[in-house]
């Protein structure tokens, strides 16, 4: 399974980066191959200063070795070895009317000292963070998510949509990071679902990513914007950074397993503002977004 999934994310990375380069029309992805001293490595691809994308990354990695003590404690296991691979992407567009997007699909194995697999699971998801709310964009993104889920299990979309709203919650701000999507983790073999079934589901979601996001980018990228719109985008990006550094488990895992810092922090936007005690104007489009982020809603 690990070879099969790693091959899949390598191909998916190629598909996604070539499509995004075509959408941008100016910038191309810079590739970095890296190795992790304890075992494994990855292929980081970053795009910067494009016509559409101010900064973004589409990264894959496959790492293995002894599970570090901090992660043993987290998983509540004794000394053991692990393998983890995944594709992780974040795109921060230049235009404030184009939403930021994040997606991740991953696979994890744990081994005993005899090298036998004692646990394995899939995880992942995709979520949208707009700076200005277009309801039809939110509906489109969620509809693509639901269509992918429904091909495998009618319960998946409502369950993973709810988990997404719960996970991407900035508790210290009492608001969502964005308008959600899907979030699933610890998808393990059971009587109902084999690992092959989970593989088919996760790859279905991965394959749907471009369909979920690119039409929104195409629709919004030419909208003219003011300095005030840009300031608002940068203030909201601050909340994005707060979530990633305070709450995100992926960031935590990377930092605690001696991951590659440049790849882990690739998700951070290049220009951000923290304005003291900032509140949008009453009745403004900015305030409308905040009200939705304070109470996650059903988009379908």
Instruction: Give yes or no: 92 in active site.
Output: no
Q: Is residue 138 a contact partner of residue 149, using CB atoms and an 8 Å limit? A: no
Instruction: For residue 64, list its beta bridge partners.
Output: 83
Q: If you search the block for the tokens 């810092």, which residue do you land on? A: 261
Token pair listed for 270: 């290049």
Helix (H) / strand (E) element for 94: namely: none
Give the sign of the dihedral formed by CA 49, CA 94, CA 229, CA 276: negative
Instruction: Return d(Cα 92, Cα 100) in angstroms, integer.
Output: 5
65 touches 39 (CB < 8 A) = yes
Task: Please tell me the distance from the alpha carbon of residue 197 to that of residue 208, in angstroms, as a whole number.
Answer: 17
Out of 102, 142, 247, 278, which one is annotated catalytic?
102
Tell me 171's DSSP state: T
**Cβ–Cβ under 8 Å, residues 183 and 168:** yes
Joined tokens for residue 75: 């998983």
| CB of 18 closer than 8 Å to CB of 228 | no
Q: Mind telling me the catalytic residues?
A: 102
């Amino acid at each position: 399974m690990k070879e099969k999934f790693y091959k899949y994310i390598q191909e998916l990375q190629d598909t996604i980066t070539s499509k995004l380069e075509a959408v941008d029309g100016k910038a191309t992805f810079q590739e970095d191959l890296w190795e992790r001293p304890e075992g494994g490595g990855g292929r980081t691809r970053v795009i910067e200063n494009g016509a559409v994308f101010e900064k973004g990354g589409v990264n894959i990695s496959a790492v293995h070795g002894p599970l570090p003590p901090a992660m043993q404690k987290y998983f509540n296991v004794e000394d053991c070895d692990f393998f983890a691979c995944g594709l992780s992407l974040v795109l921060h567009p230049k235009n404030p009317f184009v939403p930021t997007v994040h997606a991740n699909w991953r696979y994890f194995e744990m081994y005993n000292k005899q090298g036998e697999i004692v646990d394995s699971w899939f995880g992942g998801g995709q979520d949208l963070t707009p700076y200005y709310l277009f309801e039809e964009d939110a509906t489109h993104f969620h509809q693509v998510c639901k269509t992918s889920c429904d091909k495998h299990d009618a319960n998946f979309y409502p369950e993973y949509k709810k988990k997404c709203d719960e996970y991407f919650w900035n508790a210290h701000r009492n608001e969502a990071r964005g308008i959600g999507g899907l979030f699933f983790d610890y998808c393990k073999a059971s009587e109902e679902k084999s690992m092959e079934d989970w593989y088919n589901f996760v790859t279905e979601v991965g394959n749907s990513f471009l369909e979920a996001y690119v039409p929104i980018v195409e629709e919004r990228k030419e909208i003219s914007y003011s300095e005030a719109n840009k300031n608002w985008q940068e203030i909201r990006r601050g909340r994005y950074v707060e979530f990633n550094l305070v709450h995100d488990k992926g960031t935590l895992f990377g930092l605690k397993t001696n991951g590659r810092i440049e790849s882990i922090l690739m998700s951070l936007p290049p220009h951000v503002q923290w304005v003291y005690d900032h509140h949008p104007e009453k009745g403004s489009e900015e305030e409308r977004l905040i009200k939705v982020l304070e109470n996650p809603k059903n988009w379908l």
